[in-house]
Each structure stands twice: as structure tokens, then as C-alpha cells.
């Protein structure tokens, strides 16, 4: 197998001293229990592939794609090994050699045809409101799987008087580099042009993955607008609602560990919820919901099981409401939730909108 | 052949998949040797059945915790069954009234301590791998760590063990009492036996109360030789710090370069110390350490009992590992000869001569470690893909072990022997090898438990198994 991408990261594989610190809190390892599921194993396998110590088998493909890229391993690593760069390189090499997960391949194909990862027909063409401060990018999961939540978010923005416009968005492509695939350049160009057409100076995203993509992906480096996540915006606005419910918060990996945004969501929540409780694992130690890194598409049951675990941690806090601000986390938690589990799950912006609709203090929520 | 084993643990806990075998072929050492199968038993009965079958069929069985060992102790030299014990991770009992707890072997050290914290107690051994290493592995290697200077090694906290012997018999060794003089100290025999005598399936551990408070300090020295003298004077001066560590100039330089810390470039070494107890005892001890450090030429001493400042003081120690990993672009750190220990009065000789060995062999060896226990870690920085680097390292390693033994020290202070230190261990313990082999033969006549380790390991550590790096001429 050709390993031109892995070659660049050889030093990282050698620096890994196999201490196994990466076992701790790895959501995949916690689920599967075999050392082979850990980041250490992926470093060993990467070096094995690179130096021809091991040949490709289908199990290798499965192994490398069973990672949500949640970054907990990198935080735990005492040698500060760039584990995710190695995993992404291995995934690229696998794909370049013709070994691609069918679910990811399909996702890439449907994005090309439909502009979204689900291959759904475009709901409606958004009209641009000229002169808006923000261009709002909702993303695939919000638009096609959590549209009720997004409707609430949009309602909230309007109610708070945020000057924003929708535009004809297509998939940002953020997931593709993480599953070893190239982004669909036509979509990148399309997004750039449509954002430019709005005349907005800032791009507002609801999805942390899209935020990360527009902010850090070199393909969007010439975007020419400031990229803002909705939690950063909401934290600056005056929020005049309250709830007595016990509320907890789940840090999305893309927002937290990848971008360091931990405080803004908490500051917003504390403005309207006087009973805020943290889960045992929070901020940089927050367990992953299992949705990221292409895992939900390729290993649905595993992904849901991770969400179930995280949900249990939320239930342990005795919270009435679990908040997050990520359509993917929200979607995974909703799929994982059992009917008898009474906890309510919302995005922060969605929950705020509901609170505003029902008055300043509402016991039914 | 392994169908019976699969039946015992169930398909979900059995693997003969090549990828799993490739991963369980290594631990944190330099070795790589594939097992035949890996099993993850969930009960003592399953372990007994596996062992009985393996003994009947003469299949090697290699018990394994988190695989954090640096000596190859969990590497299956002859293939066979790797017994991954991490599923057995229950804390069975915490009896504060008897200052003890009972745990399964797969319980992780830090997780146990998190539970004990609520009761105001702790399990003292603090190996660097404490976040992931298992109690079973710690016992099998007699692990220790930086607080051993005050609280001892794992052996000092093991009261009793339940062990499955190599023919499948389950035995209870030791007691639930703090002392016992009731016959052979068999629990202690199992501590440090590296999985060669039995499979530890339950441990009764002695607990200690968490101290009321801690304070820490760091003392900087111009001369490396003064560090050992200061440390000896501290230890013999009537106080027992809860940690007494040092770092040399190579480590200081790497920490400065990699993490942009601003430690004095002209310091040849830094001593880090910690005392625990109540305010009065801590003030007394810290002051005494300070005076000793000043007497032996320390040019700067920082002390604090503020948690944040203490974190800063310890930062250099925490950074030592990652920093030495990235000290030079083409060099990485190898786990070699990493934990020799000498009597306290010889620490100075050890530290100074370790550096001479590095210089003589033209190899970078950073030194740091639990110097209050007489233990020094050696960070070998080499390019592991070049055979000449291994040859150079091998020569330096040999000289390090001769040095330690000539100073009345030992081959391993806390990591164990496994494969990588066995040739030197055999020289150190040549008068004990016969009795060790007799014990092994009496308990394990078919030599199924972790064969080719300790006294039975090959004489050339570099060819004991395949090295896990792609080495070229």
C-alpha cells in the first residue's frame, strides 16, 4: 500500500512512546474495550503500514475509521503527538489506495449531486436580505435532520434583532478531509460566491464543524469575512428569560477541544438558568457524543452507544434539560434517548427561543 | 486448538484477528512478537478454565494489564494466549474501618484513587502511568513512583492476593491485617513476579489517609554533583519528603526549548521536592530541605503551598517527558535502562557517571527521576531506525548497569525486568537465579506463564524478539 501521506508524519509515530494515556476517555476504546481500538493502536498500525510491517486488511480500514476525531487522546498525550494528523493521513492513504468506507463514498457522491450529505432535495432557495450584518450558515445536519431546532434558532435571532440573511448554502465539506476524501471544490466555490453576494461582513454558523471548517480550512482562507459561532454571538446579547429547571451542558468536540470555546455557552446558560450543573466530564474532558469523524455514517450503532453513555452522564447530574449547541450532537442524543428518560434535549438557541415564546419563567419546560 | 478458549470467554471476548494480534504484540517497550490469540476474561472461573486448558496443552499464557510496561514484560515471546485483564475492573470493597480495599486486577490506579478520595484516603503508589495502568500490572511489576520515598512501593501496600496458579488452582495469599507473621510471605512473592508465577485476580490493598496539605519547592544548582550530595543530606537529615525529584541540564534545555520555559540556562540540575502533612510539619520539613539545598550550593529556591504555584513548580517535571521526546528532530526517546537505583549515599556518583557514559559513547542521555529513592530515569535519545544507534545505545546501557551494580545498586527500581534488562539482572542476581528457577519450576512445571522473562529471558536483549522499529544498516 502506498503511504505518501503517512510519510509526512513519521516523526509523530516515533515520538509516540506507547504510554497508553490515550486509552483514558477515548469514546471508541471505552465502547469496544480492545486495545486495538485506541489511539496508541492507530499509531502502531500507521507505523506498521508505513514501514511495511503489516499489509492492508479490511480490519485496518475498520480500525482507522473507528475514531470520532474528538481529540481527547491528543489532550491526554504527554508527548503531544499529533495523533489526529496521523489518523487523517492514514485515512487519506487508505482512500488513495482504493479503500474507502462505502458510507463515506456515498456521502461524497450525494454531496456532488445534491449539495448536502444526505442527498436530499433542496428544501427551498433562500432569498438574500441585502445589508445584513451576518450571513447565516446552517449546515447539512441542521437543515435536513434538525430543522425544527434550526427554525427555533432562526426565530430567536429574529426576536433578538440580529441582522442576518440566509443564502443559498451547500455542504461546507468539513467532514471530507477527516474521512480521507477531498472536498468538492464546486461547493467550496459556490459557498464563497454566495457568501460574498450577501455583502455581510460576518459569517454566522450554528454547527461547530461548519464553524471550524470556515475558520480553519485552507480552502476557505480567502473567505474575507469574520466567522462567528452562534454561542459567541448570543453571549453578547441581552437575554431576558429565566428557567428554574436544572440544566446541564454538553461541550461539542468541534467547539470545545478543537476550538477552545468552553466559556461562552456556559455564560449564556447561566444568564437564564439559575440551576446549572456540570457533568463530571466537562470542558476539555467532556466525553464525545459519538457523532464525529464519519463514525455516525459508518458505524451507526457504535455512534449511538457513545451518545447513550454521554446521555447517562447527563442523567447522573439529575438535570431536567441537556443543552448543547451542535446539530450533530443534538441529533445523536435524540436518537440515543429512550422514551422513559425524561431529560429534555435542545440546542441552547433552540431552548432560548422556546423559553421566550412561553414567557419569562416557565415551569413546563 | 483455541476453539475451547473461545468457548470459555465467548466470541465477543476472543480474538485471533491479525490487527488485534499486531497490537497486542507490543507494550510500551521496544519489542514486537505476535500472540496466537487474545482473550478478555470476565471472571476468576474463566481464568481458571483458560489456565487449566493452557497447562494441559502447554500453551503460553501472558497476563496483561494496560500494556504500559517498558521492558517487554507483556510481550508474548513464543506466541500463545494474551490474557487481557482489563475487563475485570471492579472495586469490590472499600473498608475504611480496616483501612483497606479489595479490587479486581483491571482497576486503573487513578480511578481507584478517585473513589478513595471521597473517603479521605488514597492508595499511595504513583507510577507515571497511573492514569491508565492497572493494579494487577502494578503488583506484577512492583511499581512505585515519586511518592515511594515516603510511602514505599506497591509491595508495601499489598496485604493479600487471590491468585490463579499455573495449573488452575485458586489460592488466597496474605491477610487482611496490617501485619502478619503467619508463615511464608507468599503475597510478597507474587509482587514483582511479572506474571511468571500466577495470575493475580484480586488484591487486598492497604490505604493511607490523604494529607491535610502539601507544599512544594524547587532548588537550582550550578553543579550536577552537588545534587546527589544535597539529596543524601535531605534523606539522612531526619525528614521524609513526600517527593524528592531531580532533572539534569539536558532535560532543562529540552523543556526550555520545547515549551519555552525560562529556566536558568546555567543550572546543571534542579531538585524538586514536596512535603505533606499538617502546616507545622510541612513548615519544619520544607525549611530543613531549603537549608540543606543552600548548604550544597543551590543558587535559587522557590517554595509554595498555593495549588496554582505548586502546579507551576511541578510543570517542569511534567514537561520532562514530552520535552525529551522532541529535543532533536531526528532523535526520539527510547525506553532503555530507564530506572536503575542505588543506595542513597551513591546517588551523586550515579548521576555524574551516567553523564560521563553518555559523553563517552557519544549518545544523549537525559537524566531525571525519583532521586530521593536513589532512582534515576535515563532518557536515551536515539534514531531507532539506525542499527548503529542501537549498537551505541547497547554499549552505553551495559556500562550503566555495571555502574549501578558497582555502586551497590539494582538493575530496576520500579519498571521491572521483562526482556530488556534481563541480561543485566541475571548478572546482578546470579546467586539468586537458581532459587528463582526452583520456585518457578515448582509452581509452573510446564512453564506456561509468561515464559522467557526475568531469569529465563534471552541473554541478548536486542534480539530477544523482533524490535518494533524498521531498523536499517
Q: How far is CA A188 from the centre of its chain?
A: 19
Taking contacts as CB-CB distances below 8 angstroms, the residues of chain B near A24 are: 131-132
Which of A210, A234, A258 is the last residue in one of the domains?
A234
CATH of the domain at A174: 3.40.50
Phi, psi of A361 (to 5 degrees): -140, 115
Task: Flag whether A185 is in a domain.
Answer: yes
Do the chains contact at B15 and A24, CB–CB below 8 Å? no
Taking contacts as CB-CB distances below 8 angstroms, the residues of chain B near A41 are: 23
Residues A139, A324 contacting (CB under 8 angstroms): no
Task: Flag whether A260 is in a domain.
Answer: no
Helix axes B347-360, B224-235, angle to 10 degrees: 160
Which of A234, A252, A278 is the last residue in one of the domains?
A234
What's the mean per-residue pLDDT of chain B? 96
pTM for the whole thing?
0.95
Of the candidates A17, A57, A76, which has its C-beta nearest B19's C-beta?
A57
Q: What grid cell was written down for A315?
A: 442523567
Do the chains contact at A17 and B335, CB–CB below 8 Å? yes
* Furthest CA-CA distance within chain A: 65
Q: What value does the mean pLDDT take over residues A325-343?
A: 97
Residues B220, B262 contacting (CB under 8 angstroms): no
Domain count, chain A: 2
Taking contacts as CB-CB distances below 8 angstroms, the residues of chain A near B137 are: none
- With bands split at pLDDT 50, 70 and 90, how would you rate the model's confidence at B46? very high
Considering Cα of B70, then B75, then B77, then B83, what sign does the dihedral take?
positive
Residue numbers of the domain that contains A148: 134-234
Phi, psi of A51 (to 5 degrees): -100, 10
Give the tens place of pLDDT for each residue, A56-73: 999 999 999 999 999 999
pLDDT score recorded for residue B328: 87
Which of A234, A265, A297 is the last residue in one of the domains?
A234
Q: How far is CA B373 from CA B235, B343, B413, in A?
A: 9, 8, 9
Contacts of B45 (CB under 8 A, 6+ apart): none
- With bands split at pLDDT 50, 70 and 90, how would you rate the model's confidence at B330? confident
The residue of chain B with its CA nearest to that of A77 is B322
Taking contacts as CB-CB distances below 8 angstroms, the residues of chain A near B12 are: none
Do the chains contact at B325 and A17, CB–CB below 8 Å? yes
pLDDT score recorded for residue B323: 86
Task: Flag whether A353 is in a domain.
Answer: no
Task: Flag whether A207 is in a domain.
Answer: yes
Among A234, A277, A225, CA closest to A255: A234
Give the tens place of pLDDT for each residue, A86-122: 999 999 999 999 999 999 999 999 999 999 999 999 8
Secondary structure (DSSP) of A115-159: SSTT-PPP--PPPP-TT-SEEEE--HHHHHTSHHHHHHHHHHHHH
Do the chains contact at B335 and A57, CB–CB below 8 Å? no
- Distance between CA atoms of residues A209 and A117, nearest Å: 13
Count of all residues that appear for chain B in the document: 473
How close is the nearest chain B Cα to the Cα of A363, in Å? 35
pLDDT score recorded for residue B339: 95
Give the tens place of pLDDT for each residue, A286-299: 999 999 999 999 99
Asked whether residue A82 falls in the same domain as residue A144, the answer is no
Considering Cα of B40, then B45, then B48, then B53, what sign does the dihedral take?
negative
* pLDDT higher than threshold 80 for residue A124: no
Secondary structure (DSSP) of A76-92: H-TT---HHHHHHHHHH
- With bands split at pLDDT 50, 70 and 90, how would you rate the model's confidence at B302? very high
Residues B82, B76 contacting (CB under 8 angstroms): yes
Considering Cα of B147, then B343, then B190, then B445, what sign does the dihedral take?
positive
Among A169, A178, A201, CA closest to A292: A178
Of the candidates A23, A24, A44, which has its C-beta nearest B23's C-beta?
A44
Q: What grid cell was written down for A188?
A: 467550496
Secondary structure (DSSP) of B295-337: HTTEEEEEEE-SHHHHHHHHHHHHHHHHHHHTSSTT-EEE-SS
Helix axes B347-360, B387-406, angle to 10 degrees: 150
- Distance between CA atoms of residues B409 and B275, nearest Å: 26
The residue of chain B with its CA nearest to that of A29 is B86
- Distance between CA atoms of residues B73 and A126, nearest Å: 63
pLDDT score recorded for residue B227: 94
Q: What is the ipTM of this complex?
A: 0.95
What architecture is the B213-406 domain classified under in CATH? 3-Layer(aba) Sandwich (3.40)
The residue of chain A with its CA nearest to that of B28 is A18
* pLDDT higher than threshold 90 for residue A123: no
Residues B247, B269 contacting (CB under 8 angstroms): yes
User: What whole-number percentage of chain A has pLDDT above 90?
Assistant: 92
- Distance between CA atoms of residues A43 and A63, nearest Å: 11
Do the chains contact at B23 and A35, CB–CB below 8 Å? yes
Q: At which residue does the C-alpha cell 476557505 appear?
A: A220
Phi, psi of A106 (to 5 degrees): -65, -40
- With bands split at pLDDT 50, 70 and 90, how would you rate the model's confidence at B381? very high
3-state SS assignment for residue B246? strand
pLDDT score recorded for residue B318: 82
Of the candidates A19, A33, A48, which has its C-beta nearest B129's C-beta?
A19
- With bands split at pLDDT 50, 70 and 90, how would you rate the model's confidence at B329? confident
Every domain of chain B and the residues it spans: 91-209, 213-406
- Distance between CA atoms of residues A135 and A228, nearest Å: 10
What DSSP designation does A281 have? Answer: S
* pLDDT higher than threshold 80 for residue A365: no
Asked whether residue A15 falls in the same domain as residue A80, the answer is yes
Q: How far is CA B131 from the centre of its chain?
A: 13
- With bands split at pLDDT 50, 70 and 90, how would you rate the model's confidence at A306? very high
Q: What value does the mean pLDDT take over residues B402-431?
A: 97
Task: Flag whether A315 is in a domain.
Answer: no
How close is the nearest chain B Cα to the Cα of A74, in Å? 12
Q: What grid cell was written down for B334?
A: 527510547
Q: Which of B10, B33, B131, B389 to mutate to test the interface with A (most CBs of A within 10 A)?
A: B131
Give the tens place of pLDDT for each residue, B96-152: 999 999 999 999 999 999 999 999 999 999 998 999 999 999 999 999 999 999 999
Task: Flag whether A140 is in a domain.
Answer: yes
What DSSP designation does A288 have? Answer: P
- Distance between CA atoms of residues B323 and B257, nearest Å: 8
Q: What value does the mean pLDDT take over residues B295-316?
A: 94
Secondary structure (DSSP) of A22-55: GGTT-HHHHHH--GGGSHHHHHHHHHHHHTTSS-
Asked whether residue A183 falls in the same domain as residue A92, the answer is no
Taking contacts as CB-CB distances below 8 angstroms, the residues of chain B near A51 are: 469-470
Give the tens place of pLDDT for each residue, B268-279: 999 999 999 999
Question: What are the residue ranges of helices labelled H in chain A?
Answer: 4-7, 10-15, 27-32, 39-50, 58-65, 72-76, 83-96, 102-114, 140-144, 147-159, 185-198, 208-216, 230-234, 263-272, 295-298, 300-316, 327-336, 348-357
Terminal-residue alpha carbon distance, chain B: 40
What architecture is the B91-209 domain classified under in CATH? 2-Layer Sandwich (3.30)
* pLDDT higher than threshold 70 for residue A234: yes
Give the tens place of pLDDT for each residue, A191-212: 999 999 999 999 999 999 999 9
Q: What value does the mean pLDDT take over residues B431-435?
A: 97
Give the tens place of pLDDT for each residue, B198-241: 999 999 999 999 999 999 999 999 999 999 999 999 999 999 99
The residue of chain B with its CA nearest to that of A51 is B470
- Distance between CA atoms of residues A169 and B135, nearest Å: 54
Q: What value does the mean pLDDT take over residues B398-412?
A: 97
What DSSP designation does B390 have? Answer: H
Q: What grid cell was written down for B80?
A: 500463545
Terminal-residue alpha carbon distance, chain A: 55
Q: What grid cell was written down for B310?
A: 505548586
pLDDT score recorded for residue B319: 84
Rg (CA), chain A: 21
How close is the nearest chain B Cα to the Cα of A125, in Å? 48
Give the tens place of pLDDT for each residue, B141-192: 999 999 999 999 999 999 999 999 999 999 999 999 999 999 999 999 999 9
Q: What grid cell was written down for B273?
A: 521536592
How close is the nearest chain B Cα to the Cα of A130, in Å? 48
Amino acid at each position: 500500500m502506498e503511504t505518501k501521506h503517512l510519510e509526512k508524519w513519521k516523526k509523530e509515530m516515533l515520538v509516540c512512546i506507547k504510554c497508553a494515556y490515550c486509552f483514558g476517555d477515548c469514546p471508541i476504546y471505552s465502547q469496544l474495550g480492545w486495545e486495538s481500538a485506541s489511539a496508541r493502536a492507530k499509531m502502531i498500525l500507521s507505523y506498521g503500514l508505513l514501514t511495511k510491517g503489516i499489509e492492508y486488511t479490511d480490519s485496518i480500514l475498520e480500525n482507522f475509521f473507528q475514531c470520532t476525531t474528538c481529540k481527547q487522546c491528543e489532550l491526554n498525550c504527554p508527548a503531544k503527538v499529533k495523533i489526529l494528523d496521523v489518523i487523517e493521513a492514514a485515512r487519506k492513504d487508505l482512500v488513495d489506495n482504493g479503500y474507502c468506507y462505502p458510507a463515506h463514498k456515498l456521502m461524497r457522491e450525494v454531496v456532488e449531486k445534491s449539495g448536502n450529505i444526505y442527498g436530499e432535495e433542496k428544501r427551498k432557495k433562500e432569498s438574500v436580505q441585502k445589508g445584513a450584518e451576518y450571513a447565516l450558515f446552517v449546515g447539512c445536519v441542521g437543515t435536513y435532520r434538525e430543522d425544527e431546532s434550526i427554525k427555533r434558532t432562526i426565530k430567536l435571532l429574529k426576536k433578538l434583532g440580529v441582522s442576518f440573511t440566509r443564502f443559498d448554502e451547500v455542504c461546507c465539506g468539513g467532514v471530507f478531509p477527516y474521512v480521507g476524501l477531498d472536498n468538492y471544490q464546486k461547493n467550496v466555490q459556490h459557498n464563497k460566491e454566495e457568501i460574498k453576494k450577501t455583502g455581510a461582513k460576518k459569517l454566522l454558523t450554528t454547527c461547530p464543524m461548519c464553524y471550524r471548517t470556515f475558520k480553519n480550512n485552507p480552502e476557505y482562507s480567502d473567505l474575507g469575512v469574520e466567522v462567528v459561532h452562534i454561542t459567541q454571538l448570543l453571549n453578547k446579547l441581552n437575554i431576558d428569560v429565566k428557567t428554574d429547571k436544572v440544566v446541564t451542558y454538553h461541550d461539542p468536540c468541534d467547539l470545545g477541544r478543537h476550538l477552545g470555546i468552553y466559556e461562552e455557552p456556559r455564560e449564556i446558560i447561566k444568564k437564564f438558568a439559575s440551576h446549572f450543573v456540570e457533568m463530571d466530564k466537562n470542558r476539555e474532558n467532556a466525553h464525545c457524543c459519538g457523532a464525529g469523524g464519519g463514525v455516525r455514517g459508518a458505524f451507526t450503532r457504535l455512534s449511538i452507544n457513545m451518545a447513550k453513555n454521554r446521555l447517562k452522564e447527563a442523567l447522573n447530574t439529575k438535570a431536567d434539560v441537556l443543552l448543547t449547541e451542535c446539530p450533530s450532537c443534538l441529533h445523536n442524543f435524540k436518537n440515543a434517548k429512550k422514551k422513559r428518560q425524561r431529560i429534555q434535549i435542545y440546542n441552547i438557541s433552540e431552548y432560548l427561543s422556546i423559553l421566550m415564546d412561553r414567557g419569562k419563567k416557565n415551569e413546563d419546560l | 486448538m483455541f476453539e475451547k478458549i473461545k468457548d470459555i470467554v465467548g466470541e465477543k471476548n476472543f480474538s485471533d484477528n491479525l490487527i488485534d494480534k499486531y497490537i497486542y504484540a507490543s507494550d510500551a517497550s521496544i519489542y514486537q512478537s505476535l500472540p496466537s490469540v487474545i482473550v478478555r476474561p470476565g471472571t476468576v472461573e474463566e481464568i481458571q478454565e483458560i489456565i487449566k486448558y493452557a497447562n494441559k496443552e502447554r500453551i503460553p499464557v501472558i497476563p496483561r494489564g494496560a500494556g504500559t510496561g517498558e521492558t517487554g514484560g507483556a510481550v508474548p515471546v513464543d506466541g500463545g494466549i494474551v490474557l487481557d485483564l482489563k475487563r475485570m475492573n471492579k472495586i469490590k470493597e472499600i473498608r475504611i474501618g480496616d483501612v483497606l480495599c479489595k479490587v479486581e486486577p483491571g482497576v486503573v490506579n487513578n480511578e481507584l484513587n478517585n473513589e478513595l478520595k471521597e473517603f479521605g484516603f488514597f492508595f499511595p503508589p504513583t507510577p507515571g502511568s497511573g492514569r491508565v495502568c492497572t493494579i494487577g500490572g502494578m503488583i506484577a511489576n512492583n511499581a512505585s513512583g515519586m511518592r515511594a520515598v515516603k510511602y514505599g512501593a506497591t509491595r508495601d501496600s499489598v496485604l493479600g492476593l487471590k491468585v490463579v496458579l499455573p495449573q488452575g488452582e485458586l489460592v488466597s495469599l496474605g491477610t487482611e491485617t496490617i501485619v502478619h507473621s503467619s508463615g511464608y510471605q507468599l503475597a510478597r512473592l507474587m509482587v514483582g513476579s511479572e506474571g511468571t508465577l500466577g495470575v493475580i485476580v484480586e488484591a487486598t490493598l492497604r490505604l493511607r489517609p490523604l494529607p491535610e496539605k502539601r507544599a512544594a519547592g524547587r532548588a537550582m544548582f550550578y553543579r550536577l554533583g552537588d545534587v546527589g550530595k544535597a539529596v543524601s543530606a535531605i534523606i539522612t537529615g531526619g525528614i521524609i519528603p513526600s517527593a524528592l525529584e531531580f532533572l539534569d541540564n539536558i532535560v532543562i534545555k529540552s523543556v526550555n526549548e520545547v515549551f519555552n520555559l525560562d529556566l536558568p540556562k546555567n543550572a546543571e540540575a534542579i531538585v524538586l521536592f514536596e512535603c505533606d502533612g499538617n502546616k507545622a510539619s510541612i513548615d519544619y520539613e520544607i525549611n530543613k530541605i531549603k537549608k540543606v539545598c543552600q548548604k550544597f550550593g543551590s543558587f535559587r529556591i522557590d517554595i509554595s503551598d498555593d495549588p496554582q504555584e505548586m502546579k507551576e513548580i511541578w510543570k517542569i517535571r511534567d514537561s520532562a517527558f514530552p520535552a525529551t521526546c522532541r529535543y532533536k528532530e531526528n532523535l526520539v526517546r527510547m525506553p532503555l535502562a530507564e530506572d536503575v537505583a542505588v543506595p542513597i549515599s551513591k546517588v551523586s556518583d550515579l548521576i555524574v557517571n551516567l553523564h560521563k557514559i553518555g559523553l563517552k559513547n557519544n549518545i544523549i542521555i537525559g537524566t531525571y527521576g525519583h532521586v530521593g529513592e536513589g532512582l534515576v530515569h535515563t532518557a536515551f535519545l536515539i534514531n531507532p531506525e539506525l542499527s548503529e544507534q542501537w549498537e551505541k545505545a547497547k554499549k552505553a546501557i551495559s556500562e550503566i548497569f555495571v555502574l549501578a551494580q558497582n555502586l551497590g545498586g539494582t538493575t530496576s527500581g520500579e519498571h521491572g525486568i521483562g526482556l530488556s534488562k534481563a541480561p543485566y539482572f541475571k548478572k546482578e542476581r546470579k546467586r539468586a537465579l537458581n532459587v528463582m528457577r526452583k520456585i518457578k519450576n515448582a509452581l509452573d512445571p510446564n512453564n506456561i506463564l509468561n515464559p522467557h522473562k526475568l531469569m529465563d529471558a534471552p541473554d541478548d536483549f536486542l534480539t530477544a524478539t523482533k524490535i518494533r522499529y524498521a531498523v536499517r544498516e
